[in-house]
């Protein structure tokens, strides 16, 4: 069983299959709907993750409400007792992404799959592919390693909560990059999750 009595193994209709490592190393197979997503969570969450990485924030709770994102974060600076509140509208995120894009150098770039930018992006892509609306992301309760909980609402109104280890999300992020890189001819096979190695040669980051 999954979190709060929800099944870990779920199907959402006919479409392509993607494997996600569960909390205990099992593979949960998700059937993604074949329709285009109504949401843009992956890109928006990547931008939010970039902001959190810049601020060295790693403890937070994120809520999504009608296109806006609201975060309550632990202050990373001593004495570590304050709370930081961050709010982003869709317009705010477009502005931040444009600013980040202008600051990126051309050419090849290593991707840090352990960064919050890539972790949140992968979680957002997962929710998008379920054609679901993100509701909340928070730190998980698993004792076996750092994990995240993601809550979302499906098109039919049902709500689901999943908890995944960070290592599982990183694996998912790498697989998603491989899918995108293969379609553009930019993937470096030495980054394959199957061999567990990160490439030491820079490769072009898919956009």
2-32 tens-digit pLDDT: 333 333 333 333 333 444 444 444 434 445 5
Q: Which residues of 143-176 are buried (b: 16+ CB within 10 A; e: fewer)?
A: eeeebbbbbbebeeeeebbbbbbbebbbbbbbbb
Predicted pLDDT of residue 61: 98
**What tens-digit pLDDT sequence spans the chain (207 residues)?**
333 333 333 333 333 344 444 444 443 444 555 556 688 999 999 999 999 999 999 999 999 999 999 999 999 999 999 999 999 999 999 999 999 888 776 666 688 999 999 999 999 999 999 999 999 999 988 777 789 999 999 999 999 999 999 999 999 889 888 877 666 554 444 333 333 333 222 333 433
User: Which pLDDT does position 50 carry in this prediction?
Assistant: 95
The answer to whether the CB of 131 falls within 8 A of the CB of 38 is yes
Helical axes 90-103 vs 41-55, angle rounded to 10°: 70
DSSP 3-state assignment of 198? coil
CB 188 within 8 A of CB 199: yes
Q: Which of 136, 142, 132 is nearest to 163 (CA)?
A: 142
Q: What is the pLDDT of residue 142?
A: 77
């Amino acid at each position: 069983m999954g979190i709060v009595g929800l099944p870990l193994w779920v199907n959402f209709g006919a479409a392509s299959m993607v494997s996600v490592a569960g909390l205990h190393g099992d593979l949960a197979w998700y059937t993604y709907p074949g329709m285009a997503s109504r949401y843009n969570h992956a890109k928006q969450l990547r931008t939010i993750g970039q902001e959190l990485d810049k601020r060295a924030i790693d403890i937070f709770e994120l809520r999504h409400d009608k296109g806006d994102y609201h975060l309550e974060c632990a202050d990373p600076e001593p004495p570590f007792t304050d709370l930081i509140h961050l709010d982003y509208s869709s317009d705010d995120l477009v502005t931040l992404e444009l600013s980040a894009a202008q600051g990126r150098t051309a050419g090849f770039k290593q991707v840090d799959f352990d960064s919050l930018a890539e972790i949140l992006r992968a979680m957002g892509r997962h929710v998008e592919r379920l054609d679901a609306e993100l509701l909340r992301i928070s730190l998980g309760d698993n004792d076996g390693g750092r994990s995240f909980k993601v809550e979302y609402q499906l098109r039919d109104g049902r709500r689901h909560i999943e908890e995944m280890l960070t290592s599982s999300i990183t694996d998912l992020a790498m697989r998603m990059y491989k899918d995108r890189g293969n379609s553009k001819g930019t993937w470096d096979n030495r980054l394959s999750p199957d061999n567990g190695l990160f490439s030491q040669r820079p490769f072009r980051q898919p956009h």
